[in-house]
Structure 1
Amino acid sequence: MSNIESDTKPTAEERHHPLLKVALEIGPLLVFFFGNLRGEWLAKTFPTLTAVGGPLFIATALFMVATVISLIVSKIIFKHLPIMPFVSGVVVMVFGSLSIWLQDETFIKMKPTIVNALFGVVLLGGLFFGKSLLGYVFNAAFQLDTEGWKKLTLRWGLFFLFLAVLNEAVWRNFSDAVWVNFKVWGTMPITILFTLAQMPLIMHHSLDAERKVESGDKAE
């Protein structure tokens, strides 16, 4: 884990360039969206791209390139690789390559399912063995008591599994355009809302809050 750190353990560079960090994380998704939206135009403008396949395959290839660039820049500027984008990037490269090689869109569409299911199973599996693994990821951002970490880990584990099921439902029942829009503009707002919904739990189980209460009691 020397080169792969948690998303919430910011380096000095990340604190100085927060917008760049966000741009590097969501940039590949925007490239994927643009590649699918303008796939035909890109094929006409750059004929060599037709060797990759149709618009979704062109978007997939651009997504893979953008992901690699994002991870390289993150390593150079921020001195580490954020673990979730890194794992997602590995899956992107594997499933994206399979999609283009076999000319089968199924692989790239299943990538979010695989990533989210993986995170969900790891978190819930850790709980089964008595480990609140989320604490190892977020402990640099805030400190919770044991019960708080267990509850938060359980919620995030179930949420990741929910995202996996939701992705399967969307790509299997709707058009490519709907799936791409959902992947870019649907998943992120849902995740942000879920994260905000966890703030009451975090505040209730925060060790900092407990220390303030204890300090107040002693002062009285």
Structure 2
Amino acid sequence: MAGKKISPWVKGALDWGPLVAFFIAFNRLKDGHYEILGRDYSGFIVATALFVPLIAISTFLLWRLTGKLSPMQIATLVLVLIFGGLSVWLNDPVFFKMKPTIIYLLFAAILGAGLLRGKAWLQLVMDEAIPMEHAGWMILTKRFVALFIALAIANEIVWRTMSDSVWVDFKTFGLPIILIGFILSQSKLFERYGIEKPKADEDGQGDA
């Protein structure tokens, strides 16, 4: 099924809305403890319990609106459901904090496996946005593998050595800023290996 275009504002709201909601909920609830069905929960766990269904709903809406989901979106949803669910069920925030580590290591492993076979699987996800020659995708994929491993290590250091507030700030702002900064830093690579998309027939007619 071909993907359908949606407004960038709608896509941005669905992509980032659950994370922003988690950040707001955590900062409002972090100092309290809440009794639910006879169990005492921290504000962190309550915010996590809100985040898990929100990301499930937003991913479902993205699928309904666009007709497709990337492998990364599917993997992220599955791991959020597993690790976020475990944190809520066991009343232990550690599982949710480990989720970014597992996600980044999984992405690094998948991309690394593709590289061993001479394939740049990152191209399957990003080629529509950044068309490049195969050689460029191989270089970018290697760099993303290194980035994902570094982010996994960074997440482990932050959640194990710092407060919940610092980790939430790092997850909400630090990780996205690093990813965006990394992509912007690859401009030379995009210029060297980029290719122009073929222009659509202005008359909208194709061969019979």
Q: TM-score, normalised by structure 2?
A: 0.86
Q: Could you say which residue in structure 1 is the equivalent of 2:8?
A: 18
Write out per-residue CA displacement over residues 72-129 of structure 1, whole angstroms, 9 at most, x where no aligned residue: 2112222222432321111011011111122221100000000011001111121012
Superposed counterparts of 1:144-159, under 5 Å: 144-159=132-147
- Name the SS of the counterpart of 1:207 in structure 2: coil
Structure 2 match to 1:213: none
Name the structure where helix makes up a greater proportion of residues: 1
Aligned-partner residue type, residue 11 of structure 1: K
The alignment status of 1:140 with 2:155, answered yes or no, reads no
Percent of residue pairs bearing the same amino acid type: 37
RMSD: 2.2
Alpha-carbon displacement from aligned partner over 1:153-203 (angstroms, at most 9, x marks no partner): 101111111111110110011001100011001111111110101121011
Range with greater deviation from structure 2 (31-40 or 149-158): 31-40
Q: Which amino acid in 1 is paired with 2:196? A: D
The reply to whether residue 101 of structure 1 matches residue 89 of structure 2 is yes
Gaps of 5+ in 1: 210-220
- Written as runs of structure 1 = structure 2, the 5 A alignment for 1:41-190 is 48=36, 51=39, 53-190=41-178
The separation in 2 between residues aligned to 1:70 and 1:60, in whole angstroms, is 15
Secondary structure of the residue aligned to 1:53 is strand
For residues 113 and 78 of structure 2, the distance between their equivalents in structure 1, rounded to whole angstroms, comes to 21
Return 5+ residue gaps in structure 2 as ranges.
198-208
Q: Which runs of 4+ in 1 moved over 6 A?
A: 41-44
Q: Residue 195 in 1 paired to residue 188 in 2?
A: no
Aligned residue pair count: 197
Structure 1 residues 85 and 50: alpha-carbon distance in aligned structure 2, compared to 1, 3 A threshold: farther
